[in-house]
């Protein structure tokens, strides 16, 4: 339709090894991975850059909702104008060399405006469904793990933080920190009225630990940095999940790790999820995996 040559790369092997296998490994460890954030630097943009060089093209252009700004001869990622659709969180591990050669044409536009333009131009993909969640998982993620990675349902205890056994589960990998629904246990036996949440996952013991919401509020986390362009320490806005609004924190860098101390306690930072760091100008200064 656009009269642009269409080239297909077969990256099934690379995608499985770098993304799908990683997804399964993290769940085995009792962690909550974010494969999309790793797919961008390790698969999509890595191989797009190879094609760009082969084709002797000037830039890579994608439909992500994000913006790239130049500051002091350096290039940084910032949120898109359409904050509801902004995807810079998932792109935060891209290094500067990729950002220098990338353009995001939708970054200045709202989703509604993009649809208006597509409708005006008669672009046939307009009504295509938007991608949701993890692209390679159809249905429940734990079912995918059982079907493709030999995860075996195995009964284990659900225990309260007080030590009392409340019930059983059929697979620790079916749970994530902060989860409230689908626990299959009640707080009534503890003579408390507050709801129960998953507080910790203990894969070695095949146990799920539940407790109150207050027990999930954390003021400190550690992050294994995958991309860092900030200083040795400082004050940054830190997002700990995609839908998280972010909270200001004091950040200290020690080697490849960051020590994060939030101004206010944050709910359920999950090991395996992505933390993204912003400065006061909304420049993405770094990203890593919560430990």
pLDDT digits (tens, 9 = 90+) for 140-164: 999 999 999 999 999 999 999 999 9
pLDDT digits (tens, 9 = 90+) for 24-64: 999 999 999 999 999 999 999 999 999 999 999 999 999 99
Instruction: Give 283's contacts (C-beta < 8 A, 6+ positions apart).
Output: 69, 71, 76, 77, 78
- Helix/strand/coil (H, E, C) string of 60-72? EECCCCEEEEEEC
36 is catalytic: no
Catalytic residue among 39, 80, 106, 196: 39
pTM of the entire structure?
0.94
Average pLDDT, the chain: 94
Catalytic residue among 57, 126, 135, 192: 135
Q: Tell the burial category of 285 from Cβ atoms under 10 Å away from its Cβ (0-12, 13-18, 19+).
A: buried
Q: Identify the residue whose tokens are 């044409």.
A: 105
């Amino acid at each position: 339709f656009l009269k642009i040559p269409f080239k297909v790369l077969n990256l099934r092997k690379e995608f499985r090894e770098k993304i799908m296998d990683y997804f399964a490994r993290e769940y085995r460890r009792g962690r909550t991975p974010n494969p999309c954030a790793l797919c961008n630097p390790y698969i999509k943009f890595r191989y797009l850059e190879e094609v760009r060089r082969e084709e002797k093209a000037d830039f890579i252009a994608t439909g992500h909702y994000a913006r790239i700004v130049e500051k002091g001869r350096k290039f940084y990622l910032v949120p898109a104008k359409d904050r509801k659709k902004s995807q810079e969180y998932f792109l935060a591990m891209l290094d500067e060399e990729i950002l220098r050669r990338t353009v995001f044409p939708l970054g200045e536009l709202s989703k509604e405006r993009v649809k208006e333009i597509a409708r005006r131009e008669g672009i046939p993909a307009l009504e295509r469904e938007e991608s949701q969640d993890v692209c390679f998982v159809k249905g429940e993620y734990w079912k995918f793990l059982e079907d493709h990675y030999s995860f075996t349902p195995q009964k284990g205890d659900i225990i309260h933080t007080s030590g009392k056994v409340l019930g059983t589960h059929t697979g620790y990998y079916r749970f994530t920190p902060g989860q409230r629904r689908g626990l299959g246990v009640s707080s009534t036996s503890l003579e408390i009225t507050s709801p129960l949440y998953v507080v910790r996952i203990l894969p070695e013991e095949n146990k799920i630990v539940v407790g109150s919401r207050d027990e999930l509020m954390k003021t400190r986390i550690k992050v294994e940095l995958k991309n860092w362009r900030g200083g040795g320490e400082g004050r940054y806005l830190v997002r700990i999940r995609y839908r998280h609004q972010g909270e200001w924190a004091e950040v200290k860098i020690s080697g490849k790790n960051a020590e994060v101390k939030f101004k206010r306690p944050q709910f359920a930072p999950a090991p395996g999820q992505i933390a993204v760091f912003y400065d006061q100008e909304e420049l993405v200064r770094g990203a890593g995996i919560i430990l």
